Structure 1
Amino acid sequence: MSRADLVVVANRLPVDRVIAPDGEESWRRSPGGLVTALEPVMRKPDRAWVGWGGQPDLDIEPFDFEGARLVPVPLSAPEIESYYEGFANGTIWPLYHDVIAAPVYRRSWWESYVQVNRRFAQAAADAVEQGGVVWVQDYQLQLVPKLLRELRPDVTIGYFHHIPFPAYGLYSQLPWRRQVLEGLLGADVIGFQRQADAGNFQRSVRRVLHHTTRSNEIVVTSPQDGKEDSRVAIAKAYPISIDAQSYIELAQDPKVRARAVEIREQLGNPKTILLGVDRLDYTKGIRHRLKAFGELLQDGRLTVGDATLVQVASPSRQRVDAYAELRDEIELTVGRINGDYDTMHHTAIRYLHQGFPREEMVALYLAADVMLVTALRDGMNLVAKEYVAARTDNTGVLLLSEFAGAADELTSALLVNPHDIGGLKDLIMRAVEMSPGEQSRRMRALRRRVLEHDVEDWSHDILNDIDKIRTARNARR
């Protein structure tokens, strides 16, 4: 197999396997946010992507797709249950999201996580050329950097953490806290969404491993041939973004604009459409949003004829008990509110438990007067940036949780503490009643930030720092 100069390693490949009715197999590009974010990087020559093919026991040879080399990593059904649904999403996800749900610590899950991370590291080692770069993505693969460094010390390694990194008081609960930190410090550059996350990581490194940190640098020491060997790793914030221009182009498409008008008509042309777009996840604050909206109807501050909430909740981790319970709770709440306040002509909440293509999402963004992003904890939240990019006429209001990473950049949004239901209700009313002039001032500032810092800037910033380290290392050889 030919080797690539840059190898991306992620839990999933950027494609989905499709089997036609006649049994013919093919691959199509996945709609996920990571795939979209890395698409500009993968467009360039000499690239490879290592990841799971999306189906258990799928063991196939590497293949080419749209100019990139894709390297599938096979996972068995028990490994998916223990490594992915278990350790990644039953232990790490809730722990790193401020223990909104209780993490579960099982040694068998950890053992599977180690085994699978080792397999990903080996696949990356086989795929990258001498002196190349490997860029590891996210919390499912936190051990890969160190494992890869042991296999290929010639390679420069980057890692990007897409979700929050918790404060030490929470992180210290993890029985394998040392091993995870050592795994991450196998990378030369460790990127986070927010500077606060990078700070949390550095504090954990100091407390657990006793490494020296200064500014964005960590002095990583390790025994080497009977003496201490040290190198410097970078750990800092590289806030991720979107391909803003693609959303602008869709927002200006006559078909998409006509669909936005049609959506408003289908909802009965309410005065105000409020929109929530989330994966169905307990970190997204959907329950808090529904509670606030229901109380506004109960208080008479909003009426169904004047305001409708559209909630898109795309399916997520449906085999995990906490997610199944969350779906039941949300659908019960939606049914109760609609039962109390619907009329023959208007629905209080239009609830959609499904995913939509990007064109339909942009039409929803154009139809919505108020975007509600009420995450209890979120690494970034790209939906907020997508909404802003789509509002080419500078109308609309973004109400944004201060616990989402996007709040560090989108400071002209209405920032809210979603745990404060009273404050959330007041800010929803402020958004509904905001004057066109204030909407325009705020949206112009928001759009300026999103357009000036798009996804290509994000990937360029982190890959540039990785390349500086590679260049310096090669110069020393």
Structure 2
Amino acid sequence: MPNASEARILLASNRGPVSYTVEDDGTLTPRRGGGGLVSGLSAIGEEVDSVWVCAALSEGDRAATRQGRTDPSVRMLDIDPGTFARAYNGIANSTLWFVHHLIYNTPTSPVFGAAFRREWASYEAYNTAFAEALAAAAAPGATVLVQDYHLSLTPRLLRALRPDLRIGHFSHTPWAPPDYYRLLPDDIARDVLTGILGADRAGFLTQRWAAAFADCCEAVLGAEVDRDALTVTHQGRRTRLGVHALGADGDFLRERAHRPDVDARLSALREAVGGRATVVRVDRTELSKNIVRGLHAYRHLLRTRPEWLDRVVHIAFAYPSRHDLPEYREYTASVLRTAQEINDEFGTPTWQPVMLHVDDDFPRSLAAYRLADVALVNPIRDGMNLVAKEIPVVSDEGCALVLSREAGAHAELGEDAVTVNPYDVIATAEALHRALTMPRGERTDRCKRLAAAGTALPPSAWFLEQYTALTEGQPPE
């Protein structure tokens, strides 16, 4: 690791590029992750000193941190577990995520009382720990890229400690419109915005989310917004806004999808499907993914279009997500219950209308991608949704894409997708019918265009584009 105040490029995110597992004999086993941040940081060049600041998420991570066993270029923060839980679950995932995805059941939630204020204090402490670690590790004039809603306060806190740094922030979620954003207590709404405005540049996945952020700055802070120049000026500081539409890693997906483990799972899926048409969805059981309404739409298709009885299978992979939160446990139970109801209503000894799996299996997901005739991606709201971009890349025969207009990916893929209102179950059922009956040639042509659009800015290029924009094309000195 570079010594204190020597790193030229710093990346900050809740989850880091490596995690540690404590084995039965007490030894620590590292496991490296992938993704756009990892490949992008590598692409900048090993000759540039860089540090990745992240939280220690597991007992193995905390043990590695305390024993000084972490990767030399990774600085894990051993944040008090209670503080971390309140910041991560209470604020990041149960407040900011709910606001930006518009998923509160507003007659009963949110309730911003004393418990919330304790959680907010932990969120401030969590962000402060990141700001202090970044300030200590950064060389004069270094570039810092802060990632996502977990760290919305970090840019302003870091700016106060190190005004010499070039700071960027990137939001991987949607951004709520002002009326909904103002569900937050007034002081919290201001703090989140001014936290991000501590950056020199704030990045978003789509123009829509960048515009919503600017609208909130104007409505909540009275900031000056230049929508042509994409800038927000507040209290004498100007923050540039940018849009970087993260794409799928086409080269990786095409290679990985044809390995033997995927071929074996594809054979098993084909045998189970029995030559029928397929509607495929692959999601986490995240509230915003709208899995239950997708199942309702499929049931409506079978009830109103009897020609599809025994001729289609809905392959639905709904992988566990955030099961430490009660809302997510209840939602997963609803997914399981609805799928079973459909199978009970329509299933026969030789046909299972819904094939639902809730255990995470990446090779099996890729096999389903290859088999898909129709991909169903119908989130209530999504910052991007890479599944919508990945399935057309991998599909063997070319698939039709049924896509929510509320997914960030719709900005790029909407022209060749079958667009749906995610709340309209009947219209979604009709969209599934249209996709299933789409002529083969049209489906193939659309799929090729979807794949090209979905891989236009692969992860490493996406990261490098942010970095270049922040440094205005100049590498660190």
Q: TM-score, normalised by structure 1?
A: 0.90
Counterpart-to-counterpart distance in 2, 1:95 and 1:365: 31
Residue in 2 that maps onto 1:331? 336
Aligned to 2:173: 163
The question of 1:263 aligning with 2:262 is answered no
Query: 1:308 and 1:24 mapped to 2: Cα distance?
Result: 45
**Is the 2:315–2:355 contact (alpha carbons within 8 Å) kept by the matching residues of 1?**
yes
The match for 1:190 among 202, 205, 219 is 202
Alignment correspondent of 1:279: 284
Does the alignment pair 1:235 with 2:245? no
Q: 2:453 aligned with 1:453, yes or no?
A: no
Residue 42 (structure 1) aligns with: 41
C-alpha distance in structure 2 between counterparts of 1:70 and 1:285, whole Å? 36
Counterparts in 2 of 1:133 and 1:63: CA distance versus 1, 3 Å: farther
Kindly tell me: are residues 421 and 282 of structure 1, through their superposed partners in 2, closer, same or farther at Cα, counting changes over 3 Å? same
Choose from 145, 154, 170 the match for 1:144: 154
* Residue 383 of structure 2 corresponds to residue 379 of structure 1: yes
Q: Residue 173 of structure 2 aligns to a residue in which SS? A: coil
Aligned-residue offset at 1:77: 2.9
- What letter matches 1:123 in structure 2? A
* CA 360–331 in structure 1, closer or farther in 2 if over 3 Å, else same: closer
Gaps of 5+ in 1: 223-229
Q: Which amino acid aligns with 1:158?
A: G
Higher RCO (Cα < 8 Å, 6 or more apart): 2
Decide whether aligned partners of structure 1 residues 249 and 300 sit closer, same or farther in structure 2, where only a CA change above 3 A counts. Answer: same
- Distance 1:457-1:354 versus aligned 2 partners, 3 A rule: same
CA separation in 2, counterparts of 1:202 and 1:28? 39
Find the aligned partners of 1:416 and 1:100 in 2 and give their Cα distance: 22
Which amino acid counterpart does residue 178 of structure 1 have in structure 2? R
Any idea what SS the aligned residue of 1:452 has?
Answer: coil
Partner of 1:116: 126
Instruction: Look up the equivalent residue of 2:179 and give its one-letter code.
Output: G
Local SS of the residue matching 1:385: helix
Deviation of residue 470 (structure 1)? 6.9
Task: Tell me whether 1:204 sits opposite 2:216 in the alignment.
Answer: yes
Tell me by how many angstroms 1:294 deviates: 1.4
Q: Secondary structure at the match of 1:173?
A: coil
2:140 corresponding residue in structure 1:
130
Q: Contact (CA 8 Å) 2:214, 2:232: kept in 1 or not?
A: no
What are the equivalent positions in structure 2 for 1:74-473 lying under 5 Å apart? 74-101=78-105, 102-105=109-112, 106-175=116-185, 176-214=188-226, 215-222=228-235, 230-253=236-259, 256-257=262-263, 259-265=265-271, 267-301=272-306, 303-357=308-362, 359-391=363-395, 393=396, 395-411=398-414, 412-468=416-472
Relative to 1, partners in 2 of residues 1:63 and 1:242: Cα closer, same or farther, differing over 3 Å? farther
CA distance in 2 between partners of 1:187 and 1:113 (Å)? 18
1:239-278: CA deviations, max 9, x gaps? 112221111222344663454233211x141421111111
Q: CA deviation at 1:148?
A: 0.6
Q: Which residue of 2 aligns with 1:225?
A: none
Contact 1:137 1:160 survives alignment (8 Å):
yes
Contact 1:162 1:379 in 2 (8 A): yes
- TM-score normalised to the size of structure 2? 0.90
Shift of 1:159: 0.6
Contact 2:468 2:474 in 1 (8 A): no
Q: CA deviation at 1:149?
A: 0.7
**Cα deviation, residue 209, structure 1:** 2.1
Following superposition, the deviation at residue 288 of structure 1 comes to: 0.7
Distance (whole Å) between structure 2 residues aligned to residue 169 and residue 97 of structure 1: 13
Query: Whole-Å Cα distance in 2 between the matches of residues 353 and 370 of structure 1?
Result: 20
Contact residue 73 and residue 119 of structure 1 kept, 8 A: yes
Q: Distance in 1 between matches of 2:358 and 2:257?
A: 24
Matched, 1:20 2:23: yes
Asked whether the 8 Å contact 2:51–2:137 carries over to 1, the reply is yes
Distance 2:261 2:81 in 1: 42
Secondary structure at 2:74 match in 1: strand
Structure 1 pair 95/72, CA: closer, same or farther in 2 (3 Å)? same
Q: How far apart are 1:99 and its partner, in Å?
A: 3.2
Alpha-carbon displacement from aligned partner over 1:261-307 (angstroms, at most 9, x marks no partner): 33211x14142111111110110010110101112222343545211
RMSD between aligned alpha carbons? 2.1
1:91, 1:104 within 8 Å by CA — same for their partners in 2? no
Unaligned runs of 5+ in 2: none
